[in-house]
């Protein structure tokens, strides 16, 4: 398999218009939701990413027929069955974990190898098991690398042990098929969770509390397949906001949902970034030319707090801000690894522990060879390269392509000097 890198020459202000793609983090659980019913589920505005392709392969393994054309995915589930999903299908896709709930609820059994994905520190499945066990699931796993659940699930009350996005999605998808009322407490409320709530509502379940931390679902045994348009990716939008700011550019982002970015845009404003939103057109205008950056404190939190997936991009911006900034990552102890790559480029950083760091700026970044440690770290290194002097090579671009739809193409349309390099 060819290795893919980006070669980027920095120093060009980005200018122009870009349309934000559909959300990967929404598309994956929505695809998993297709197995709740027998029929055809149609999803529009689906980004054509490595993770989406991997999920479709899993669905096909389970018996589904799938097709993709110009952003629309069709999943036909008439012949879907629940059978053990092997390691080669789930090892590269952490998002496959959201098949636990719908498969178990529909078929009474689910078995899969332990899902993979980005290494962001320990990401146990305890919250998923806790949610499904409260509905009557039994953990039948006998080996460490396999998840095996069985049970005739019943509607009931779920108190999640943490605000886990994917565990909340599993609980919602399972509850949608269970006659009676299920109440999910400490539910995550991220935009992609809300998408799952809207899908099961379109399929015939009654949902109260969409976008809150207490969700009530009245499920039904026979759901109807639905058509749904995937919301745009606020994480991609946030990356382009930072790209415009750190390059001193002027960019118009089309298809932005401001409510998804409320804390991020608040932090960008406190830092000195200049953004203006047109709610009628859903266009966010970012003016990096007149932005003057100062250091701030940023702490990640559950939605609507500052998104953990936008902290690496913000870290790049803070390296260009005057003064001392403190970043505090509450969720993943492995999130800070990208800072060591940023240091290679000249950033002044003091890592205090696995959750906190100081960034002292502004510093002039210089082109280097740097790695993508995960999806979001990879995007952050691209942003660093765009504002660095000279040429930067960003390796392990496969990570980036798991989460960003035509990232390099979109940057080129804004004037970035970026090329994709493939080596055997």
Residues belonging to the chain: 424
Interval 6-12 mean pLDDT: 95
pLDDT band for position 118 (cuts 50, 70, 90): very low
Which residues contact residue 171 at a Cβ distance below 8 angstroms, ignoring those fewer than 6 apart? 101, 131, 132, 135, 158, 160, 182, 184, 187
Distance CA 39, CA 303 (A): 33
Clarify whether 118 is annotated catalytic: yes
Averaged pLDDT score across all residues of the chain: 93
Report whether CATH 3.65.10.10 matches the domain 24-229: yes
Assigned token pair, 12: 């060009």
Does the pTM of the predicted model rise above 0.95? Answer: no
Interval 225-239 mean pLDDT: 97
Indicate if the pLDDT at residue 123 is higher than 80. Answer: no
Any idea what DSSP says for residue 221?
Answer: S
Interval 333-343 mean pLDDT: 86
Interval 142-168 mean pLDDT: 91
Indicate if the pLDDT at residue 317 is higher than 90. Answer: yes
Q: Say if residues 322 and 291 touch (Cβ distance below 8 Å).
A: no
224-243 core/surface letters (b: 16 or more CB in 10 A; e: else): ebbebebbbbbbbbbbbbbb
Distance CA 119, CA 122 (A): 8
Among candidate residues 37, 118, 225, 387, the one labeled active-site is 118
Superfamily classification of domain 3-21+232-423? Enolpyruvate transferase domain (3.65.10.10)
How far is it between the farthest Cα atoms of the chain?
62
Provide the residue ranges of all domains of the chain, joining segments of one domain with +.
Answer: 3-21+232-423, 24-229
% of residues, the chain, pLDDT over 90:
83
Instruction: Classify 126 as helix, strand or coil.
Output: helix
Residue 116 is predicted with a pLDDT of 66
Indicate if the pLDDT at residue 337 is higher than 80. Answer: yes
Interval 198-214 mean pLDDT: 97
Assigned token pair, 98: 């959201």
Residue 2 is predicted with a pLDDT of 67
24-229 has the same fold as 3-21+232-423? yes
Indicate if the pLDDT at residue 193 is higher than 90. Answer: yes
Residues in a beta bridge with 239? none
Residues in a beta bridge with 328? 299, 356
Name the CA dihedral angle for 109, 93, 410, 369, rounded to a multiple of 10 degrees: 170
């Amino acid at each position: 398999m060819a290795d893919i890198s980006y070669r980027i020459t920095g120093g060009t202000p980005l200018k122009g218009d870009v349309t934000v793609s559909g959300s990967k983090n929404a598309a994956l659980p929505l695809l998993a939701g297709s197995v709740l019913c027998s029929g055809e589920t149609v999803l529009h505005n689906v980004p054509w990413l490595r993770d989406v392709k991997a999920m479709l392969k899993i669905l096909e393994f389970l018996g589904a027929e799938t097709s993709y054309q110009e952003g629309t995915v069709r999943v036909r589930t008439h012949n879907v069955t629940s059978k053990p999903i092997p390691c080669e299908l789930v090892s590269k896709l952490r998002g496959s974990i959201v098949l636990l709930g719908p498969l178990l609820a529909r078929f009474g059994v689910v078995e899969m190898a332990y899902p993979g994905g980005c290494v962001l520190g320990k990401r146990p499945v305890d919250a998923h098991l806790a949610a499904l066990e409260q509905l009557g699931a039994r953990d039948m796993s006998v080996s460490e690398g396999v998840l095996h659940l069985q049970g005739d699930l019943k509607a009931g009350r779920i108190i999640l042990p943490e605000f886990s996005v994917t565990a909340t999605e599993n609980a919602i998808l399972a509850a949608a098929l269970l006659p009676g009322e299920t109440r999910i407490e400490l539910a995550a409320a991220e935009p992609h969770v809300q998408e799952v709530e809207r899908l099961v509502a379109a399929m015939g379940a009654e949902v109260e509390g969409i976008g809150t931390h207490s969700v009530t679902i009245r499920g039904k045994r026979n759901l109807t397949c639905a058509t749904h348009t995937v919301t745009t990716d606020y994480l991609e939008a946030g990356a382009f906001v930072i790209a415009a700011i750190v390059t001193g550019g002027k960019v118009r982002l089309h298809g932005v949902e401001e409510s998804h970015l409320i804390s991020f845009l608040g932090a960008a404003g406190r830092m000195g970034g200049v953004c203006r939103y047109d709610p009628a057109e859903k266009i966010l205008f970012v003016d990096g030319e007149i932005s003057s950056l100062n250091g701030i404190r940023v702490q990640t939190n559950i939605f609507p707090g500052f998104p953990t997936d936008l902290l690496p991009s913000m870290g790049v911006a803070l390296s260009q801000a005057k003064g001392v900034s403190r970043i505090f990552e509450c969720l993943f102890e492995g999130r800070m690894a990208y800072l060591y790559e940023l240091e290679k480029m000249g950033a002044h950083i003091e890592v205090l522990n696995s959750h906190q760091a100081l960034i002292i700026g502004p510093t002039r970044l210089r082109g280097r060879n740097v790695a993508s440690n995960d999806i979001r770290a990879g995007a952050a290194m691209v942003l660093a390269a765009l504002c660095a002097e000279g040429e930067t090579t960003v390796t392990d671009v496969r990570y980036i392509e798991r989460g960003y739809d035509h990232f390099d193409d979109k940057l080129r349309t804004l004037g970035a000097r970026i090329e994709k390099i493939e080596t055997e």
